[in-house]
Structure 1
Amino acid sequence: MGKTESICSLSNLSEFYGKDMATRDAYGITLVELGKKNPDIVVLDADLSCSTKTAKFAKVFPDRFFNMGISEQDMIGTAAGLALTGKIPFASTFAIFATGRAWEQIRQTVCYSNANVKVVATHGGITVGEDGATHQALEDIALMRVIPGMSVIVPSDAYETAQSIVKASEYYGPVYIRLGRAKVQAVMPEDYRFQIGKAYIFRIGKDANIVANGLMVSEALKAAEILREGGIDTGVANFSSVKPLDEDALFKTAKSSKLVITAEEHSIIGGLGSAVSEFLAENHPIAVKRIGISDSFGCSGPSKELLKFYGLTAENIVKIVKEFFKK
């Protein structure tokens, strides 16, 4: 099996720092760079390569790209087979199809066999926008997190996405990476280096700490600033690695404050909020407020309006934290 270069030596890394862009775009660019470094990397798609941005890889490496058609289950099975021959397959489609339609294949042919498959799904969450509830995966993290052996990653921006893709290629075992359609704000510092199973703590607050991932990290940072200005000392931690969860970092943030808030573009059932609550309930009982989609489907509309409608905003985080401390 070939080896990729260190994340620090990838020539395209710097182009993502500080740039607001969709995480799916960072994925497409990084795949091409990885393909140049490692001939064992192959890419599969379920007839959505223009949307998932794997078309960039297909153009440069047509003999290492496989369009499986609208056959997601077949795509996952084929990816597992390629992995067992020593290849490093990246299989991509929309999150709703990757985790819903092909769940059994991911469980049986990938995770049960510990096949070295990277499922990188785009169009996760409600920011799929006008495509509506049928295409808005709000349950995908829960579906992947429950499978033994599966690592689950939700990058916060393009810079972290590029690094997580490279690290996934270097890591042996099943990985699920959830990416988005909409442009997201750059939040990670230049010296940041992604590691599977590690969180990044921006700051620890004495009153409250917001644990977030994906695009909600930027909202959490905005909310924390507003809260600190109002006298509530609030910190933020990026838990892009939902599984394995950085238990040390979570314990550190929880024991330093009176309240932990989780913020995610996903159902509050089974995702980051559940992972955090489960750990804290057993190890450090503390008040937890979960911000996400509350047991409902999405709906059609512009992504920014949907985020506001479902309360996935800095303003709503501020409101919930203030209400807690009023009590």
Structure 2
Amino acid sequence: MTAPAAPAAPAATTRSARETYRDALVRLMLEDERVVCLDSDTGLFSGVDFGPAAARYVNLGIAEQNMMGVAAGLARSGMVPFVNTMAAFASTRAVEAVKIDIAYAGLPVRVVATHAGLSAGHLGPTHHCLEDLAVMRLFPGMTVAVPADSDAVESVLHQGMELPGPLYVRLGRAATPALETTAQPPRLGRAQLLRTGTDVVLVACGPYPVRYALAAADDLAAEGVEAAVLNMHTVKPLDTAALADARAVVTVEEHWRSGGLGGAVCEALAPRGVRVARVGVDDAFVSESGPHEFLLGGAGLSADAVAEAARSVL
């Protein structure tokens, strides 16, 4: 594996990924008359001036399953609908409509889900979403993307416009640190190599997991262990070529340990007998409410946990 120099430490940012998404979507609506925004009364677009695109913003209220059906109909009519809702509702409450109306029909609907993982920590376990990657990646033809920071969101939206089928984009709630790197910008379907290493490969998706993987790589380097770090921002299709030379792998995700990124990597590497350790949330609900990072630590996600998992597979 070859890559640019190791990234600098993450810098703070005051913009959340969902705010970046909102502003980028408004620009897309002004540039392309096919683009429609369907909202589920989230409040994200309150006070937004859509200008001449105002008629293509439709608030359908808290009726997520119906919204997926409306999106499918618009897509069948030649429009490019963006569905805006919370991840917990997109992947559970509305999942039958996603399966039948969108995925089965192979329609170019873009489901942009906010408050994913434990980012809605203050709202409690009913709004935590630790199952969406497992659900969405199972649907044939569905592209599943998890931007690692706000800067990557607009690029993902523009790349997603070229996809012939459905796209699921997983975002958090509040601002997260920017990923400062000299690596090539993320491309859908291709892992972003953030750090080189020959002993173990740390494969992460999402803002905090990628940060934890980079911090763990620093800790391991002090012990003489060379850890590569991959930002696997596209969970489906998985970039298996990026894992071709891996001898030991640790996956890191803000998701239940089963079914998500770790599950996808294990499925890809099982025929080769590569040892894989998965860092994620245990098979239990996170019953507490609280700040995002507090809940992540309580659920066992940290740089220390990643480093220890790496030691276990070496």
Q: Structure 2-normalised TM-score?
A: 0.91
Deviation per residue, 1:268-315 (Å, 9 max, x gap): 111000000000002x21111100111111231111211111121112
Pair 1:55–1:39, CA change in 2 (3 A): farther
Write the mapping of 1:206-217 to structure 2, written as runs, cut at 5 A: 206-215=198-207, 216-217=209-210
The aligned residue for residue 203 of structure 1 is 195
The aligned residue for residue 310 of structure 1 is 299
Pair 1:164–1:308, CA change in 2 (3 A): same
Alignment of 1:157 onto 2:145: no
The aligned residue for residue 236 of structure 1 is 229
Pair 1:315–1:27, CA change in 2 (3 A): same
The aligned residue for residue 11 of structure 1 is none
The aligned residue for residue 85 of structure 1 is 77
Deviates more, 1:236-245 or 1:167-176: 167-176
Q: 1:24 aligns with which of 11, 15, 18?
A: 18
Q: What count of residue pairs does the alignment treat as equivalent?
A: 301
The aligned residue for residue 282 of structure 2 is 294
Deviates more, 1:236-245 or 1:225-234: 225-234
Q: Distance in 1 between matches of 2:48 and 2:56?
A: 8
Alignment of 1:103 onto 2:95: yes
Displacement of 1:24 = 1.0
SS in 1 for 2:187: coil
AA aligned to 1:91 is V
Displacement of 1:190 = 5.7
Could you tell me whether the CA contact under 8 Å between 1:224 and 1:235 is conserved in 2? yes
The aligned residue for residue 247 of structure 1 is 240
Q: Distance in 2 between matches of 1:68 and 1:125?
A: 24
Q: 2:211 aligns with which of 218, 236, 249?
A: 218
The aligned residue for residue 4 of structure 2 is none
Displacement of 1:54 = 3.9
AA aligned to 1:296 is A
Deviates more, 1:203-212 or 1:133-142: 203-212
AA aligned to 1:301 is G
Q: Distance in 1 between matches of 2:295 and 2:189?
A: 30
Could you tell me whether the CA contact under 8 Å between 1:31 and 1:54 is conserved in 2? no
Q: Distance in 2 between matches of 1:271 and 1:159?
A: 23
Q: Distance in 1 between matches of 2:33 and 2:89?
A: 28
AA aligned to 1:309 is G
Q: Distance in 2 between matches of 1:30 and 1:174?
A: 19
Pair 1:56–1:242, CA change in 2 (3 A): farther
Could you tell me whether the CA contact under 8 Å between 1:224 and 1:234 is conserved in 2? yes
AA aligned to 2:305 is N
Q: 1:177 aligns with which of 154, 169, 175?
A: 169
Q: Distance in 1 between matches of 2:20 and 2:223?
A: 36
SS in 1 for 2:279: strand
Could you tell me whether the CA contact under 8 Å between 1:160 and 1:188 is conserved in 2? no
Q: Structure 1-normalised TM-score?
A: 0.87
AA aligned to 1:295 is D
SS in 2 for 1:184: coil
Displacement of 1:137 = 0.6
Q: Distance in 2 between matches of 1:58 and 1:140?
A: 31
Q: Distance in 1 between matches of 2:87 and 2:144?
A: 13
Displacement of 1:127 = 2.1
> RMSD in angstroms over aligned alpha carbons?
1.8
Gaps of 5+ in 2: 1-9
Q: 2:32 aligns with which of 31, 38, 41?
A: 38
Could you tell me whether the CA contact under 8 Å between 1:43 and 1:57 is conserved in 2? no
Gaps of 5+ in 1: 1-16
Write the mapping of 1:67-86 to structure 2, written as runs, cut at 5 A: 67-86=59-78
Could you tell me whether the CA contact under 8 Å between 2:192 and 2:231 is conserved in 1? yes
The aligned residue for residue 121 of structure 2 is 129
SS in 2 for 1:266: strand
Displacement of 1:81 = 0.5
Deviation per residue, 1:141-167 (Å, 9 max, x gap): 111111111111111001111111111
Q: Distance in 2 between matches of 1:58 and 1:142?
A: 36
The aligned residue for residue 110 of structure 2 is 118
Could you tell me whether the CA contact under 8 Å between 1:126 and 1:136 is conserved in 2? yes
Pair 1:261–1:133, CA change in 2 (3 A): same
Q: Distance in 1 between matches of 2:126 and 2:49?
A: 28
Q: Distance in 2 between matches of 1:18 and 1:272?
A: 26
Pair 1:190–1:231, CA change in 2 (3 A): closer
Deviates more, 1:198-207 or 1:285-294: 198-207
